[in-house]
């Protein structure tokens, strides 16, 4: 199983190219994709999002939030901030969800590297088709 960050979903929905978009498309086709609740919230926050797209996004199986999730997310964010790295709240929630479930995250957002290093979780960063 794998999850995708908002940055990759936005690129996918916009029809952009990139290795991350290919990975997301393949995960959808293989039914290996889980939706992180914070990502769904970010995507559904777009007032221009068509209702059909919102419905499709809502049908991706969600990652369940486990006990003490909020505490773990706070501690993870504190750990990254202590290293003087950027740690936005939404990114902290997304990273902790993936860590709890033990799933990799497809993203274009390089800020997730700080969370991956702090918690030693799998991360797939792909920004453009021409970059590895």
Which domains does the chain carry?
2-125 (3.40.50.1010)
Rounded to two decimals, what is the model's pTM? 0.90
Task: Give the pLDDT confidence score for residue 125 in this predicted structure.
Answer: 67
* Mean pLDDT per 10-residue section of the chain, whose length is 132 residues: 96 94 96 98 97 97 95 97 95 96 92 90 63 45
For residues 105 and 89, give the distance between their C-alpha atoms in angstroms, rounded to a whole number.
16
Task: Give the pLDDT confidence score for residue 128 in this predicted structure.
Answer: 55
- How far is CA 31 from each of CA 1, 25, 39, 45, 115, rounded to the nearest angstrom? 8, 10, 18, 25, 26
Task: Give the pLDDT confidence score for residue 77 in this predicted structure.
Answer: 97
3-state secondary structure of 6: helix
């Amino acid at each position: 199983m794998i999850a995708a960050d908002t940055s990759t979903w936005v690129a996918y929905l916009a029809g952009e190219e990139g290795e991350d978009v290919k990975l997301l498309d393949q995960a959808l086709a293989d039914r290996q994709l889980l939706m992180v609740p914070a990502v769904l919230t970010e995507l559904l926050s777009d007032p221009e999002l068509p209702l059909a797209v919102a419905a499709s996004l809502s049908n991706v199986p969600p990652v369940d939030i486990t006990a003490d999730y909020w505490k773990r997310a706070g501690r993870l964010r504190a750990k990254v901030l202590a290293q003087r790295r950027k740690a936005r709240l939404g990114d902290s929630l997304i990273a902790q969800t993936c860590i709890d479930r033990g799933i990799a995250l497809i993203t274009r957002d390089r800020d997730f590297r700080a969370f991956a290093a702090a918690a030693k979780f799998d991360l797939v960063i792909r920004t453009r088709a021409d970059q590895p």
